Amino acid sequence: MTCQIIRWTLLAACVTAWNVSSAAPKAYVGNFKDNSVSVIDSERHAVIDTIPVVSGPHGMVVTPDGRRVYVTGDASSGMSVIDTATDKVVGTVEVGKGPHGLALTPDAKWLLVAVNGEDQVAFVDTATQTVVGKVPVPKPHTITVRRDGRLAYVSSQQPGKFALAVLDLAARSVTRTVPLDKPPRDLEFAPDGKMLYFTEAGLNAIEVFDPASNKLVASIPTGASPHYASVLARPSLGVAVIQGPGEVLLFDPASNTALRSIKVGSQPHWIAASSDGKTAFVTNEGSNDLSFVDLASGKVDTIAVGKAPRKVAVQPAPAPAKISISNFSFEPGTIEIRAGQAVTWVNDDGAPHAVAYEDGSAGARSLAPGESFTRVFERAGSYDYHCSFHSYMTGRVVVRPS
C-alpha cells in the first residue's frame, strides 16, 4: 500500500457550551470560488461564521453525531476536517489529487473519498484520520453507501465508458459496473436501501435503479439539467434540484411521479434536509445564495453566502434524552447530556407528577399519566430537581460542555 502523507494539526481551543443562538443545528455551505465554508444558523437563517478550507471545496459530509464536517478540495489534494464545536479546521488529510464526493459508512468508521484526479476511491479511517486503502475506479465523481454498509455505488465519469461502479466495502474491490450512455452526476440510495436515484448530464430525468435486479425501473421527467436527487425518510418524499429552471422538484417515490416544483435561486447545485424533514437547504451556485424551503408550504427564504456555493451539509438534531417517571421514581435518577441537548420526561406512572428545579427555573407543574415535558439545556452544569407532589422523588441532569 502506498504510504499517504497526512497533515494533522491539532488546534488548541476551549470548547464551551452552546449559547442560545447556536443551540440549533448548523448548516455548512462550501463556497467553491472563495475556498471557504459558510456556517449557517438554521433557526435564524443567518451566516454566523466563515471558515477557510482547502482550495475548491467540492465534497462535504457531516458525521452522524454532528461533531465533524469533512470537506474535499477539488483544486487540491487535501480534505479539511472541521470541528463543529469551535467551527475551526482541526486537520487536513492528504487523500490524493482532485478529490470530489464523500460518503460515510453507516457506523461512521470509514469515509470514502472519490479521488477523481487519481482514478481511485480512498478509504479514510475516521478514528485516526488516515488513508488506509484505495480502490481503482475510473474518474470517480460522487459516492453513496447502502444502509447496511456492505456496498457503495460510485458515479464513474470515464469518457466513453460512463458507468456506476459497485464496491464491496469489506473486500475493498469493484464487484461489477452498470454501463451508462451519459456521464452520471450524483447518486443516492433511498433510506431503506432498496432503490438508487441518480442523474446524468444531458438527460432531463431522475433515473430510478433497482440494485436487486440490476435494472432501471423508472425515469422521472424533470426540467433541464437535474443535478441532485434523494428521498427523505420522513416524510417519504423525493427532492431534487433542477439547475436550468432554478427549482426544487418534489416527487413521490412510491409512484415515481412529480408532485410540484418550487422556485429557488440560479443554478441550484445541492440540497440537504433538516432532521425532521420539514426544511430543505438549497445551494444556488449561480446567485451566490442559500435557500431555505418549507417543504409543506413551499415558502422560500434566501440569504447570501460566498461565491459559487456548491455542497451543503446539515447537522442532525440531537435526539432528546428520555427520563421515565414510573413507580414513583425518575428513571434514570441521574442522566448526563451535552450542552444544547434536550431531555424529555414522560409520565409512565398511574398518578400525576411534576418536575421542579432546585434553582427555581421553569419546569413542569403537573404531568398527568401519559403526558411529557421537554427542556433544552443550553449551559454546562448540574441541575437537581424533584417532584413537587412527592418530595422524595429526586433526580439530576448533568450537562457537559458540547
Q: Are residues 354 and 236 in the same domain?
A: no
Q: CB of 298 within 8 A of CB of 260?
A: yes
pLDDT for residue 16 is more than 70: no
User: Is residue 396, in this structure, part of any structural domain at all?
Assistant: yes
CA 175 to centroid of chain Cα atoms: 27
pLDDT the model gives residue 233? 84
User: Domain of 63?
Assistant: 6-314
Mean of pLDDT values over 328-349? 92
Which of the 8 DSSP states describes residue 182? S
In this structure, the strands spanning 257-263 and 140-145 are: unpaired
Q: Are residues 174 and 70 in the same domain?
A: yes
**pLDDT digit string, tens, across residues 376-393:** 898 899 999 999 999 999
pLDDT for residue 305 is more than 80: yes
Taking the C-alpha atoms of residue 59 and residue 113, their distance in angstroms, rounded to an integer, is 8
Q: Are residues 341 and 223 in the same domain?
A: no
Model-level pTM?
0.80
pLDDT for residue 20 is more than 70: no
**pLDDT digit string, tens, across residues 118-175:** 999 999 999 999 999 999 999 999 999 999 999 999 999 999 999 999 999 999 999 9
Q: Are residues 338 and 216 in the same domain?
A: no
Q: Are residues 144 and 209 in the same domain?
A: yes
Q: Nearest-CA neighbor of 184 among 217, 162, 208?
A: 162
Number of neighbours of residue 68 by Cβ within 10 angstroms:
20
pLDDT the model gives residue 117? 98
pLDDT the model gives residue 339? 81
Taking the C-alpha atoms of residue 89 and residue 340, their distance in angstroms, rounded to an integer, is 22
Q: CB of 202 within 8 A of CB of 182?
A: yes
pLDDT the model gives residue 11? 28
Q: Are residues 307 and 337 in the same domain?
A: no
Taking the C-alpha atoms of residue 51 and residue 213, their distance in angstroms, rounded to an integer, is 44
Cβ-in-10-Å burial (0-12, 13-18, 19+) of 50 comes to: middle
Q: Are residues 360 and 304 in the same domain?
A: no
Q: Any idea what the CATH number is for the domain that residue 380 is in?
A: 2.60.40.420
pLDDT the model gives residue 348? 97
pLDDT the model gives residue 402? 63
**pLDDT digit string, tens, across residues 142-154:** 999 999 999 999 9
pLDDT the model gives residue 23? 57
pLDDT for residue 13 is more than 50: no
- For the chain, how many structural domains are there in total? 2
Specify which residues 200 forms β-bridges with. Answer: 184
Q: Are residues 287 and 356 in the same domain?
A: no
- Average pLDDT value for the chain: 92
292, 314, 336: which is the final residue of a domain? Answer: 314
> In 36-129, which ranges are E strands?
36-41, 46-52, 57-62, 68-73, 78-83, 88-94, 99-104, 110-115, 120-125
User: Is residue 349, in this structure, part of any structural domain at all?
Assistant: yes
Q: Are residues 245 and 388 in the same domain?
A: no
Under DSSP, is residue 351 helix (H, G, I), strand (E, B) or coil?
Answer: coil
pLDDT for residue 234 is more than 90: no
Residue 12 to residues 15, 55, 82, 83: CA-CA distances in angstroms? Answer: 9, 24, 13, 12
User: Is residue 1, in this structure, part of any structural domain at all?
Assistant: no
Residue 130 to residues 110, 121, 127, 172, 258: CA-CA distances in angstroms? Answer: 10, 14, 8, 16, 42
Q: Nearest-CA neighbor of 344 among 368, 319, 365, 362?
A: 319
Taking the C-alpha atoms of residue 187 and residue 197, their distance in angstroms, rounded to an integer, is 6
Q: CB of 397 within 8 A of CB of 383?
A: yes
Number of neighbours of residue 64 by Cβ within 10 angstroms:
13
Q: Are residues 12 and 143 in the same domain?
A: yes
Record the cell numbers describing residue 371, joined without a space. 403526558
314, 348, 368: which is the final residue of a domain? Answer: 314
User: Is residue 361, in this structure, part of any structural domain at all?
Assistant: yes
264, 293, 314: which is the final residue of a domain? Answer: 314
Cβ-in-10-Å burial (0-12, 13-18, 19+) of 20 comes to: exposed
Record the cell numbers describing residue 48, joined without a space. 454566523
Name, in order, each residue with C-beta under 8 angstroms of 253's C-beta and a sequence gap of 6 or more: 190, 195, 231, 236, 237, 238
Task: Tally the residues of the chain.
Answer: 402
pLDDT-above-70 percentage for the chain = 94
